[in-house]
Structure 1
Amino acid sequence: MIVQRRAVTSVLAASALLLAAGCSSGGGDTPGGRSGSSSSTAPEASDSRQADGQPPPATGSVRVVRTVAADLKTPWGLAPLPGGGLLLADRDDGTITRIDDKTGKKTVLGTVPGVSAAGEGGLLGLALSPDHASDHLVYAYLTTDSDNRIVRMLYDPKKPSGEQLGAPDTVFKDIPKGMIHNGGRIAFGPDGMLYAGTGESGDRGLSQDRDSLGGKILRMTPEGEPAPGNPFGNSVVYSYGHRNVQGLAWDGRQRLFASEFGQDTWDELNAIKPGDNYGWPIAEGKSSDPTFHNPIAQWRTDEASPSGIAYAEGSIWMAGLRGERLWRIPLKGTKSSAPPQAFLTDTYGRLRTVVSAGGNKLWLTTSNTDGRGTPSKTDDRILEVEVS
């Protein structure tokens, strides 16, 4: 099985120790505050509807509280900081910007070197180290001239704007790249392991090839090694038969869910079981073939084209690009307990990323400047949304 990794250098480790010792709480990277997003270290666990016998109501609600920030260009990854504030990835420019979630003020941390933005590739998902409050490490999934890869960088808020990112250290590389289907979502699970959703880069055969990293969900240690307990021995492959995974989230019982782009017929939300085959390209959507793990919900591609997902209030919340809406999928265990419900349809345009803002609130980004949308004068935006 394929194992592509690079251990963190001793220089980076030493720098992390020095930075942790020298940084004060003035940078806002202190424990407390935001938690429970698909980019953070653990899901929300305070939902009173966690017991499988108590599913959420069949009908929910969504209220847009406010616009947090506007005039953003090709936003993709979004990671809430432990002490407040958001880190935002610009797909095309390859920059990471800190957004003050109270005032909307933008501070550019720096540009990630090596980003090759073309088609659907560029600087994509962001995730914070499980120990970010002390080690100040930011992980990023990016497209280069040769591959998709995961890097990590030190973030030093005490340095001037534009100089706050350390040199990237490659954690994992050689994920297939293409003009389409680069995947790109990364997240640390409640087990402290790093998960990545990849795409088959337009080469359908990669999805069923367990020796390929394309069309998979990968699970690895923070250093890029195959995680203990992975289903295929010394391999980072966790599940396969995917077309293009851009959403990862855990419910309050630490069960993993993933969204997936279909081709012409069905988009999917899947409950992920390690080692299972999710069917692409042989099956799109639900199948009668017992070889494949069927989705818990499916949509016509013009109603969804899903990217990010988050868990809140007993439901998975799924952002739709082509569908231009936010879907609510109420859960009972690893199944949908009621038909999915759509909100914000054709209101804010294409929706890319959704993460938990704690409790019953979400951060939601639009994606109208990505070359496929029709931007308004204030696009793109980050919205604060209240859900039930």
Structure 2
Amino acid sequence: MLFSSWQDRYRMRWERFYTYVRTTPCSVAECRDDAAFFTAPPVRDLLDLCEQRSELSNHLVADLANHLTELDPFRACLCGLLIGRYGERGAGSADADRALADRFLYTLNACLQSIELICERRSIPVEKLLDRPEALPHCLCALFATDPEPAMASFGMGSLATGLLSRLAASRPLRDRLRQEKQVIPFCEGFGELFDPALVSLPGLLNMAEEGTVILLSLERRVGVEAAFRQVDSNFLLFTLLQNLFHREGLLERFGAPKFVYDPVLDKLSRHLPLSKKERVPDLLEDNAGFDYYAPSALRADGCFDILHLVWGEGSPCTLPQLDGKNLLLLAPLTLPRRWGEEFILGSHPQLRPAATITRLLDEAEVASLTARIRTLNLSKTGNQ
């Protein structure tokens, strides 16, 4: 009976909340400061109840998702933020994720409409608006008077994007859904800074390598391994994961990097694992290369490597160099110091769980076969048979 009474209280507060968001007009002032929404008694009371009884959060997420299309564009975005926030605590469903994706795509198109209307009525090119993002709120306020729908959606995009990022980090089906929408990444890369920094982070999640394998080969040491990785959004993060993996597996000296300095805190942070009470995040978080990483095409006839064929860390593991359809990196002793900062070490979102594991050691015959294959291909490209 006790749980039933909590459900009854929830249903009563939900009805008050729903009546409020459906019947109270959204104003420009509320769009400029969403505190007016979250401090409104019907909203605050519902959220307070869900804080008291966490099991009610699933009901809230389901109700919000079912009614997103009935709300005005700004409040729908704020409710999308709530779906993401409660999703971080374990509440949510595939249906809620689909509703969130639909609302994001609707809001994206509304933002594009706002840009078009603003530039048309002010007789300015898009580039001028992009150069002065601080002017957008003023422009949207003016647009609100004549075209409230796209203006409200544009005001809410930042909140919606923040909620969407939380769910994107937790749900591969949702990431795969948005990968099918060709306009998402160009919009975020072209207009993300105009609306909210959260949008700038979104392409990193969609361009992320969900899972893959890579062969790591040291021609000098005549050794190789195959490693599997997951949820890696940059080659720098992949390098960090691999180097720390080599340390844990006792492979650094075998592959020619005995001087690499292992940092257990950095290792945990790169895999988004919790630190112990005694461990602290350093003020300057950065990693240093233990190897030079080359594409197979880097090997020259004289046995040296062409620096133009270095694999750059800013790239994506989705585009690693391949040999006969398999990702392959040549490891060589470090020639020049290379380092990268926390934006690469920490990845796109704290809810991700980047990882790398050794799947097998290559035997001598396979190492020799790969080496011969690389030499043959590179000699044929240069015409040196």
Same fold (TM over 0.5): no
Larger Rg: 2
Question: TM-score, normalised on structure 2?
Answer: 0.23
* Structure showing the higher helix proportion among its residues: 2
* Structure showing the higher strand proportion among its residues: 1
Q: Which has the higher contact order (CA 8 A, sep 6+)?
A: 1
